[in-house]
């Protein structure tokens, strides 16, 4: 998170823009809104500050409200579930650390490619009618990767 965004976020939190329950991972706006889910599965809430609209992740709001400094850092989800916003499920990491990590195998080993078995499961789910977005969420893989598999741009031989 850039320093200016964090500054604005702190101002909005101190102003009482949202009701925040960090322990349960809940952020509510004036309309009772919990935000919307973006194409990558993150919950986002928009807010206006000095006539400029900002889009914040619910996870960012929760951590900054609890006093975390997110400048030049990113947040990862311990259980891999981007909808689980409980503070206990969020970890602040040096920027770039989470981005380097790709799919985790069940043993917890880091990988940079999908196995043939995983691709077969993904293709099967797509054949069964699951949307690309749903499959991406299910396997915690980027939407773009699943989309390329679905279009036959990658893993044609599987």
Secondary structure of residue 156 in the 3-state scheme? coil
H/E stretch holding 75 reads: strand 73-77
Q: What is the pTM of this model?
A: 0.62
- Write the CA distances from 48 to 13, 45, 108, 143, integer angstroms: 12, 10, 40, 28
15-58 confidence digits (pLDDT tens): 999 999 999 999 988 766 677 888 888 889 989 999 999 999 99
Q: What does the alpha-carbon distance between residue 141 and residue 84 come to, in Å, rounded to a whole number?
A: 17
Q: Among the listed ranges 72-76, 92-96, 122-126, which one has the minimum average pLDDT value?
A: 92-96
- Looking at residue 30, what is its pLDDT? 75
Nearest 10 degrees: Cα torsion 29, 31, 36, 42: 20
- Please give the pLDDT value at position 100: 53
User: What is the assigned CATH class of domain 3-100?
Assistant: alpha beta
Q: Where are the domains of the chain?
A: 3-100, 102-158
Provide the CATH topology of domain 102-158. Answer: Arc Repressor Mutant, subunit A (1.10.10)
């Amino acid at each position: 998170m850039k320093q200016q965004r964090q500054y604005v976020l702190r101002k909005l939190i101190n102003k009482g823009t949202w009701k925040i329950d960090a322990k349960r991972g809940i952020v509510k706006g004036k309309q009772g809104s919990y935000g919307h889910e973006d194409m990558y599965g993150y919950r986002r809430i928009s807010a206006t500050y000095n006539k400029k609209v900002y889009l914040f992740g619910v996870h960012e709001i929760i951590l900054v409200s609890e006093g975390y400094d997110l400048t030049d850092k990113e947040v990862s989800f311990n259980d891999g579930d981007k909808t689980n916003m409980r503070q206990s499920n969020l970890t602040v990491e040096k920027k770039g650390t989470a981005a380097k990590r790709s799919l985790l195998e069940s043993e917890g080993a880091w990988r940079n490619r999908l196995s043939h078995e995983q691709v077969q499961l993904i293709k099967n789910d797509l054949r069964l009618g699951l949307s690309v977005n749903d499959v991406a969420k299910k396997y915690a893989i980027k939407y773009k990767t699943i989309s390329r598999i679905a279009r036959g741009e990658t893993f044609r031989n599987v």
